[in-house]
Amino acid sequence: MDSLDDIAELLRAARALLGIRQDQLAERARVSRQMVARIESGGKGVTFETIEKVRAALEREGVEFFPGTAANGPAIARRKVERKPRTQSK
């Protein structure tokens, strides 16, 4: 299992990958901005349920989480969004 510091770093990196602020992530996760800041700093008083709300919000925005291996730590990536071809309006 990853340490709270590893989880905090991964969630902070995921938010940065999306280019969103803490308050925007908090709104999407339905938690307070202070709670997002506390999670990202590895602070105390953070429940598993709250971390999962934040993680789920990031996943809805297109972030994928990958578990660590013996050689590498956990990782994130952004799902490729398939765009529909534009139609020209007349």
- Predicted confidence (pLDDT) per residue in 27-85, tens digit: 999 999 999 999 999 888 899 999 999 999 999 999 999 988 888 888 889 987 666 66
Q: In DSSP terms, which residues pair with 78 in a beta bridge? A: 63
Cβ partners under 8 Å of residue 82, min gap 6:
none
Calculate mean pLDDT across residues 6-10: 89
- pTM of the predicted protein model: 0.81
Whether the CA torsion 41, 3, 48, 65 is positive or negative: it is: positive
Calculate mean pLDDT across residues 16-33: 96
Residue 75: phi, psi to the nearest 5?
-140, 165
pLDDT of residue 90: 57
